[in-house]
Structure 1
Amino acid sequence: MSSSILTATEHEASLSVQDNSLYEIVDGQRLDLQPMSAYATWLASRLHGQLWPYAEAHLLGTCITEMLFILDVQRDLRRRPDVAFVSAQRWPMDRDLPSTGDWEVVPDLAVEVISPNDVFKDVLAKVREYFHYGVLLVWVISPEEQQIYVYESPTQVRILSVDDKLTGGNAVSGFRLTVASLFQRSASSHPPSTS
């Protein structure tokens, strides 16, 4: 990741300019993110496509992709999970999202999809950071191994394979998805199985 210092004023100004590059901010410093692979992007999109309608149908909260969340105002820490879920308890569904700037809320669920450019120790550091700020559940999706690492704390992890079912745990109550249906490599007439 490359980085450059970005003051709060510069950050706000940058929001008004069309900027297609993805970045996070750590201690006020902009960190450009490497682009995701096509397959990693596909997986994030498929997962979001299952979480979003489920969360809305059950009035649980909001599911979103590539949102920059303000985790710590004092530290100016803003992270961008590939997919995230924010419960109605943390942000009521009838409350408008900010029309400018980033979202000052800690998601209940953060999902990171590993791309070939990612360094796993950096992903693990981010997992610890998410829990430090109050995220309840973290899914780390490894496309190459076709596994999902389900973190319920920084030290409690279950590894799911294609024979398992992914559940929303204490973050997205009642959500279930077969892991095998997520890890497909092409478009299909069959949607992922949520049973």
Structure 2
Amino acid sequence: MKAARSAAFKNFSGLLKASIDCINQVVEDLKIACAFTELRCTFGDASIVPDICVFRWERIPRDRDEQIANKFLIYPDWTIEILSPKQSPNKVLANILHCIENGTELGWMLDPEEQNIFVISSDRRIQMYTGSQSVLVLSGVDLTLTVTQIFDWLNF
């Protein structure tokens, strides 16, 4: 069991990349939204750096030249965190709840060790998804993913 856990966490960056690629394949060309990795977002008297944050297209901060801004002084529409072995689930959940309290529509907390995903919706309801269950995604995004599909990305 320990070897499987260790191998899974070595592929954290693979899971991160596959998640971003999957989301952006569905939303970016249609200008629905865009997923970013490790982007500092400052809002509600705090700065957070989610593993993945998704912004609806019309909310992506831009500078005078219509380029993506260097600073994101707004909350993401969807925040995704992937637990690492030494990370406190409480701290991660607190970051997601900070986002939700400030306007974020959806938060995910992926737990590779337990192979489940906690989904926090804008009404602060928390649901746990496992196995073949389809996970709730940002409204308006035509994407269906199961927990198994997501964690299979660890094996690429």
The TM-score with structure 1 as length reference comes to 0.67
AA in 2 matched with 1:56: E
CA distance in 1: counterparts of 2:55 and 2:79, whole angstroms: 9
| 1:43 corresponds to 2:11 | no
In structure 2, the residue corresponding to 1:104 is in which secondary structure? coil
> 1:154, CA displacement in angstroms?
6.3
Number of corresponding residues: 145
AA in 1 matched with 2:17: S
> 1:92, CA displacement in angstroms?
7.3
| 1:96 corresponds to 2:67 | yes
CA distance in 2: counterparts of 1:169 and 1:175, whole angstroms: 9
Structure 2: state its 5+ residue gaps.
1-8
Structure 1: state its 5+ residue gaps.
1-36, 188-195
On the 8 A contact 1:81/1:112 being kept in 2, the answer is yes
In structure 2, the residue corresponding to 1:140 is in which secondary structure? strand
- Give the match for residue 3 of structure 1: none
CA distance in 2: counterparts of 1:66 and 1:50, whole angstroms: 17
CA distance in 1: counterparts of 2:85 and 2:97, whole angstroms: 21
On the 8 A contact 1:69/1:106 being kept in 2, the answer is yes
On the 8 A contact 1:149/1:157 being kept in 2, the answer is yes
Inter-CA distance 38–140: structure 2 relative to 1 (3 Å threshold): same
CA distance in 2: counterparts of 1:89 and 1:175, whole angstroms: 19
The structure richer in helix per residue is 2
In structure 2, the residue corresponding to 1:176 is in which secondary structure? coil
Q: Deviations over 1:165-195 (max 9, x none)?
A: 123242x5222123212212322xxxxxxxx
- Give the match for residue 55 of structure 1: 27
- Give the match for residue 131 of structure 1: 100
On the 8 A contact 2:116/2:131 being kept in 1, the answer is yes
- Give the match for residue 176 of structure 1: 144
1:108-119 maps to which residues of 2 (within 5 A)?
Answer: 108-119=77-88
CA distance in 2: counterparts of 1:154 and 1:144, whole angstroms: 27
Whose RCO is larger (CA < 8 A, sep 6+)? 2
CA distance in 2: counterparts of 1:154 and 1:40, whole angstroms: 29
Query: Which of structures 1 and 2 has the bigger CA Rg?
Result: 1
AA in 1 matched with 2:68: L
| 1:146 corresponds to 2:115 | yes
